[in-house]
Structure 1
Amino acid sequence: MFTLVESLYSNEILDRPDLGCAMLIAACQARGIKTTLIKGQTTYLKDIFIDESEELWDILRELKDADLRKIGILEYKESFAGKDMKQFCVELKGLYGCSIDDKNPRRYFNGLEMKRFHILYNIFMSAYYYCLEELKSNKSRMVDNYVRRIRETNPRYIGFSLQFKFDSFSRAIRKRVKESLGIPIIAGGSLSPFIDLKNIDKILKKEYFDYLIVGPGEFALPRLIEALAAGREPVGIGNVYYARNGRIKGSGLEVINNLDSLPYPDFSQFDLDLYPVPERVLPIQSARGCSWGRCAFCSFHKINAGRHKILSADNFIATLAYLSNKYRCHFFTLNQEELTVEQAGIISKALLGGNLKNINISSAARLEKGYDNASLLRLMRKAGFIQLQWGVESASQRVLDAMRKGTNTRVMSRILKKSSQCGISNICFIFFGFPGETKVEARHTVAYLKKYARYIDDIYCGTFILTPYSPVGQNPSRWNVEICNPAGYTVKSGMNPKEVSIFYARFLKEIAMNNIKVSSGRLICLYPGNSRVTAHFLSSGHGMVLSEVALKCLARKRLNRIFPVLPGEFRKRGGDFVWRAENTMESIFINEHFPEKENTLDSLEEKMFLLSDGTMSIKDIDLIVRDGVRSYHSKKRLRDKCIGFFRKIFSRNLGMAFAAPWRAG
């Protein structure tokens, strides 16, 4: 009856299903509305890299150098130039298999291979969008495939999830569906609260949908579908906007006050094993909104009308238990703006009291004074909070005050140190260019990161983005900002946008060259962004340890304590097994342009290498290597060689060591 189309646009490859769609499916099913999901990323990745790679080949070959330069992918022309179609398609299929199908942690930690997968994805999506938007192409088998999939569900109503922006790919699909099926199209998602409702009539026509759900949709969507099914106009249904006779109609924003009234998210229609991670990761919520809600750069308060609502601890634990058992998942990310200090304590105690086993949680949190408490952080770590994502933003107190961030740099420093010492992985979010920030203040933030690098596992950085619904966007003069046009602004003091871009580019270059240390160095060998944040999360869940710890375990013959993963490229060359390792303490740029020397492994080393995929300890590997050998001296020689092999690996930072096993790929 109702078909829901997952978001079809993302500037990054996602590593988990969409929580919003899972909640909408559950809400509709609870009201007896049969709902079918048309999957987003997991489907179009397969289309790009396997099913429609021939069409992609044709697109890339037809684009001229001027086109490739315009969309910023001319430098990657060699990725497809000089190859025939068959070779191109075989390579894409192999890359998809390594990045998606192969769940071996060795593949996951192969930074250069994952970088290539991400870059090619961005190249291909840029080419598709360029053809649709600039060249006005009406031919696309990927669009045809989605229209066909939608038709096959025989829907009466269709919903589209809008997550980041109005994109040409989704628009082309909606246009075709509207023309061929002529049924009501509903749109919603995290983009919806930022749509200018004054222009909703034009937007409805341009974007080919009939109804817009703004904000939470768990109540609004089923009510809208029921009204349409009964032939009624959806008057009085909160969060629903539409046009009638040239007039905009809607009943305003309705926030869900009782989160306990919502059903468990339904992930049963997602391809949970077709995300580029070796173990399943699911999103979940314990709250909606932000308890602070005053940051001058933030627009997220608009999604929940500035209100902060929490799920009861009992319901949260029940949801975790349900999802863990049903979907065989042990890694959960809290998909919300923050986890308050009070809720962190309550949930941690409930988790420990609920006797949930092997639950790992990542959450965003504010660097507020309550977290400056080692007892609380130890409790959280014991309960399963293995990663916290902190909004540092800046290390200049003046800039933080201008942001209305409500944090203090001295408190911030203590929290990061205590959290790290309690065994929690710290991810720090920063950005440069808040209006009024000077180069001196930006450099101070860099110096701060260098000073506290040992307590920071990674940073996620960017530049200031002026959004219309943020306090700065609503009252720019208060922050000495002048809006030039919808996409630009100037400032009366501090760095201007161009200076910010230059500063940021230099900062990224220094990190890429590994010239500055702004984090602990763990996993800097991987592709940066959301994928690396998740890699830290999964690695923390498996007890990643530094090379020096692994070397101590080897020295003390505690071989059962270390589960090794040896990433890098390997192949057969003649009769030899050749391995080109990646230095785990060097950036991906260094590993790419200044690679390690190739290692030719003998048959025994080859066997140890192939067994080092994180699923077994060095002790297990040693036992397998010595299996069938009866002589005491031969066994001792093999054990010594095994220990020597791994000693060489970890002393040169060519491998990763974990205290707990990964699941078999």
Structure 2
Amino acid sequence: MKPIKTMLIAPPHFLYFNSLGIPQLTGYLESKGRQVKQILVDTLFYDYFLSEEQLRKGFSYLRTNVNDNFRKDIISEIKNYLPIKQSFFTNKSLNKDLLSLILDNKDQVIKLVHQAYVEFKTKNTQVEKEQFRLNHLIIKFGLKISSLPYYPTKIDPIQGITMRYNPFSISELEEATEDTKENPLISFYKEYLFPEIKAYNPSLLGIQINHESQVIPAFTILKWVKKELPSIKVIVGGSLISYLKDQVIKIDRLWEYFDFLGIGMGEYTLDTLVGCLENNGDYQTVPNLLYRKNGSFLKTKFQDVNLNDLAVPHYDESKPKPIIPYFSSSGCYWARCKFCEYPYHHNKFGHYNSKAIDLIIDDLKHIKNEYDPHLVFFCDSDILPSRLDELSDALIQEDLDLDLFVWIRAEKEFTSKEFCQKLKKAGIKAACMGLEAGSQRINDEMDKGIQVSDVDTIIRNFYDVGIIANIFSIVGLPGETREEVLLTREFFQRNKEFIKGDISISSFMLSTYCLISINPEEFGIEILHPEDDQLYPILNYSIDHGLTPEEAALFRDRFQEEFNDSSYTDGKFFISTLE
């Protein structure tokens, strides 16, 4: 029996720290003795597009492109980077128009982008907060320049790659994977990724799609693999794929790109599938799998993954003092919010479950010894206060000297300053929680299960004990009035000075499988059904009372302008943890 070689790939998405899914799967397969190689494309991707060669191509394109609309568009975007103007240009040149300024100083710009990126890779979080922020802006600027030859495609250190194509339209997705003019991944993959796949020659290839920005990058890989290496079996998974599985299985054209869909957590799925391929076994023995046979779609039994079985993730991390993602539980222990998809997830992918505290401590010891991280970023959707209390006891006893970022719900327990002091002593450096609406009535309608007044108290408690608060909110939840949305503004006005992390303000989007979508008439909503041949994680809608989607977007933009520094907010949740 010849061992099956597995390759797992995370398409590019985020510069500053590893995604968790592929390292978690790799660590588990290695613990089972499987032969596996992972490729987290982020590092290769950003190395390539922040290289001098790509930056010079961008400047050449900017100089020679004479389309006025193009230049206006570019200059309008570049103005967002004016906080770094003094770093790039001498005082003598500051009265020139911005475009001339950039072009006349291209060598200086390239040098500073190179310095900022090298400092990120060699010092990472060991620089002061303001220097990291400045480097972040310089890197954003550099990626804006290097992506110009593929205009209107954009590359960003937080958002990854964004194209004009709708990644959820199957026709546009297929077009994007063939567009050599606007899809920079085609030439990049051809030089850096495809040779690695060929050299390793796996029998099984797994691709993760967690985010919208990973859809086109993933399918660009899949298209090449099915054309050049058709004998490779391909499985696609990730949170976005799991969420859209009922839609994906109905679109025949998508199945030309892969053989299997992995649903939910993939550890048991991949391990069993490898064994099945080695022994020419029956796919029905593989849990959490969707596949086609003789023109029909088949689904295997669902099996919850016991988190106590999981090994420490296999991170590809060479930077000093990195941010290390980690998760100790799956699902949401509340799972009742009507605007959220977690109630659907619980019905389809198992309920909230968590890893034993002693095993978490063992993992954190390994992470501390192996990586000496600046921050361990817990990716749990939320952590029960009682569980966080137990974890804090263990952290204090072990004296691990780790800083942690956690996601919580604004439960009553956090209104106790004594409890917050304990969390700080245990190493909780930052926490993120959802306010959603400043109106208690709206939160109650959405079954949020928190009190707005408690969020006020928790923010102040965190501020007093030295925990950085990050707050999420949503404007335009169904039925919210103009008067009520202003309560959200009032909330941030009275708390802004105490929130040292990110203030994230979004407008309501109707998730396809949330409870509101299942019973739209209860909320006065009429769903505008999507076109055929399209995936739809979000639904368009009209509403007969309260704010319309358009009005909500206007309030969102107004509040973001008032409470956010637009050049900083997209990384503030972790940049704020620097000294």
Please state which band the TM-score falls in when normalised by the shorter chain: 0.7 to 0.9
* Percentage of identical aligned residues: 24
For the Cα contact (< 8 Å) 1:481–1:489, is it kept in 2? yes
Aligned equivalents of 2:335, 2:108: Cα separation in 1: 53
| 8 Å Cα contact 2:128-2:578 kept in structure 1 | no
> Which residue of 243, 260, 267 maps to 2:308?
260
How far apart in 2 are the matches of 1:307 and 1:40?
31
Give the equivalent residue in structure 2 for 1:340.
Answer: 384
Aligned: 1:174 with 2:178: no
Aligned to 2:548: 496
Q: CA deviation at 1:189?
A: 1.1
| Counterpart check, 1:19 vs 2:23 | no
Q: Distance in 1 between matches of 2:59 and 2:417?
A: 56
Q: Which piece of structure 1 moves more, 158-167 or 309-318? A: 158-167
User: Is the Cα contact below 8 Å between 2:323 and 2:377 reproduced in 1?
Assistant: yes
How do residues 171-320 of structure 1 correspond to structure 2 at under 5 angstroms?
A: 171-182=219-230, 183-200=232-249, 202=251, 205=254, 208-256=257-305, 258-267=306-315, 270-273=316-319, 279-303=321-345, 305=349, 307-320=351-364
Decide whether the 8 Å contact of 2:27 with 2:313 is kept in 1. yes
1:446 aligns with 2:446: no
* Matched letter for residue 121 of structure 1: L
- What letter matches 1:390 in structure 2? M
Aligned match for 1:455, one of 498, 503, 506: 498
Q: Could you tell me how far apart the structure 1 residues matched to 2:61 and 2:293 are?
A: 41
The match for 1:324 is: 368
Using a 3 Å threshold, how does the CA distance of structure 1 residues 415 and 85 change in structure 2: closer, same or farther?
A: closer
Mean CA deviation greater in 149-158 or 497-506: 149-158
Is 1:429 paired with 2:472?
yes
Q: Which residue of 1 aligns with 2:127?
A: 105
* Structure 2 letter corresponding to 1:93: H
Instruction: Specify whether residues 500 and 203 from structure 1 end up closer, same or farther in structure 2 by C-alpha distance, changes over 3 A only.
Output: farther
Hey, what's the Cα distance between the residues in 1 that align with 2:110 and 2:46? 13
Say if 2:189 is the partner of 1:143: yes
Q: Does structure 2 retain, via aligned residues, the 8 Å contact 1:108–1:114?
A: no
**Mapping 1:534-553, distance limit 5 Å:** 534-539=574-579
User: What is the match of residue 96 of structure 1?
Assistant: 117
SS at match of 1:359: coil
Could you tell me whether the CA contact under 8 Å between 1:174 and 1:207 is conserved in 2? Answer: no
Post-superposition offset of 1:292:
0.6
Decide whether aligned partners of structure 1 residues 372 and 82 sit closer, same or farther in structure 2, where only a CA change above 3 A counts.
closer
Q: Is the counterpart of residue 117 in structure 1 residue 159 in structure 2?
A: no
Task: Choose 494-503 or 149-158, whichever is displaced more.
Answer: 149-158
Aligned: 1:399 with 2:442: yes
Q: Which amino acid aligns with 1:266?
A: H
1:2 match: secondary structure: strand
Whether the aligned pair in 2 keeps the contact of 1:42 and 1:271 (CA below 8 Å) is no
Whether the 8 Å CA contact 2:8–2:207 is kept in 1: the answer is: yes
Specify the alignment match of 2:30 in structure 1.
29
Letter in 1 for 2:395: L
| Residue identity opposite 2:117 in structure 1 | Y
Q: Distance in 2 between matches of 1:447 and 1:158?
A: 51
Aligned residue in 2 for 1:543: none
Letter in 2 for 1:335: C
Superposition RMSD in Å? 3.0
Q: CA deviation at 1:190?
A: 1.5
Partners of 1:91 and 1:375 in 2: CA distance: 46
Given that 2:477 and 2:508 are in contact with CA atoms closer than 8 Å, whether structure 1 keeps it comes out as yes
Cα separation, partners in 2 of 1:66 and 1:157, compared to 1, 3 Å: farther
SS at the partner of 1:319? helix
Q: Deviations over 1:215-250 (max 9, x none)?
A: 100111111122122223411322111112221111
Q: CA deviation at 1:320?
A: 0.6
Contact 1:462–1:504 under 8 Å retained in 2? yes
Specify the alignment match of 1:383 in structure 2: 426
TM-score (norm 1): 0.71
- After superposition, the C-alpha distances for 1:413-447 in whole angstroms (9 at most, x for unaligned) are 22222232222211111121111112211111111
Partner amino acid, structure 2, of 1:404: D
Question: Would the alpha carbon gap of residues 100 and 327 (structure 1) be closer, same or farther in structure 2, given more than 3 Å must change?
Answer: closer
TM, length-normalised to structure 2: 0.81
Q: Tell me, in whole angstroms, the C-alpha distance in 2 between the residues paired with 1:499 and 1:471.
A: 22
Q: Deviations over 1:550-573 (max 9, x none)?
A: xxxxxxxxxxxxxxxxxxxxxxxx
Superposition deviation, residue 136 in structure 1: 4.3
| Bigger radius of gyration among the two | 1
SS of the residue corresponding to residue 38 of structure 2 reads strand
Distance 2:220 2:463 in 1: 48
- Alignment match of 1:6 (pick from 5, 10, 16): 10
Q: C-alpha distance in 1, partners of 2:317/2:65? A: 33
Change beyond 3 A, Cα 1:232–1:73: farther
Relative to structure 1, is the Cα distance of residues 186 and 85 closer, same or farther in structure 2, using a 3 angstrom cutoff? farther
The whole-number CA distance in structure 1 between the counterparts of 2:342 and 2:64 is 41
* Contact 1:280/1:329, CA 8 A, preserved across alignment: yes
- State the shift of 1:3 in Å: 1.0
The answer on whether the counterparts of 1:433 and 1:495 sit within 8 Å (CA) in structure 2 is: yes
Conservation of the 8 A alpha-carbon contact between 2:336 and 2:342: no
Q: Using the alignment, how far apart are the partners of 1:400 and 1:49 within structure 2?
A: 44
**Distance in 1 separating the partners of 2:299 and 2:74:** 43
CA offset at residue 73 of structure 1?
Answer: 4.5
d(CA) in 2 for partners of 1:343 and 1:474?
Answer: 32
- Residue 44 of structure 2: aligned partner: 43
Partner of residue 653, structure 1:
none
- Residue aligned with 1:235, SS: helix
Return closer, same or farther for 1:64/1:500 CA change in 2, 3 Å cut-off: farther
Offset, 1:371: 2.0
- Higher mean C-alpha deviation, range 111-120 or range 459-468: 111-120
Give 3-state SS (helix, strand or coil) of 1:167's partner: helix
- Mapped pair 1:126 → 2:154: yes
Q: Is contact 2:468–2:500 with CA below 8 Å preserved after alignment?
A: yes
Alpha carbons of structure 1 residues 296 and 228: separation in structure 2 relative to 1, 3 Å: same
For 2:450 and 2:256, locate their aligned partners in 1 and report how far apart those are by CA, in whole Å. Answer: 41
Task: Report if the CA contact (8 A) 2:112-2:138 is conserved.
Answer: no
1:567-599 deviation per Cα after TM superposition (whole angstroms, max 9, x unaligned):
xxxxxxxxxxxxxxxxxxxxxxxxxxxxxxxxx
After TM superposition, give the deviation of residue 266 of structure 1 in Å: 1.5
C-alpha separation between the residues in 1 aligned to 2:226 and 2:177? Answer: 22
Aligned equivalents of 1:66, 1:33: Cα separation in 2: 56
Give runs of aligned pairs for residues 555-566 of structure 1, distance below 5 A.
Answer: none
Q: Are residues 52 and 296 of structure 1, via their aligned partners in 2, closer, same or farther at CA, if it must alter by over 3 Å?
A: farther
Counterpart Cα distance in 1 of 2:62 and 2:276: 46
Mapped partners of 1:51, 1:147: distance in 2: 23
- Amino acid of the residue matched to residue 559 of structure 2? F
- Stretches of structure 2 lacking an aligned partner (at least 5 in a row): 79-97, 148-152, 156-160, 166-172, 531-538
Distance 1:444 1:330, change over 3 A: same
Aligned to 2:236, what secondary structure does the other structure show?
Answer: strand
* Structure-2 separation of matches of 1:213 and 1:403: 31
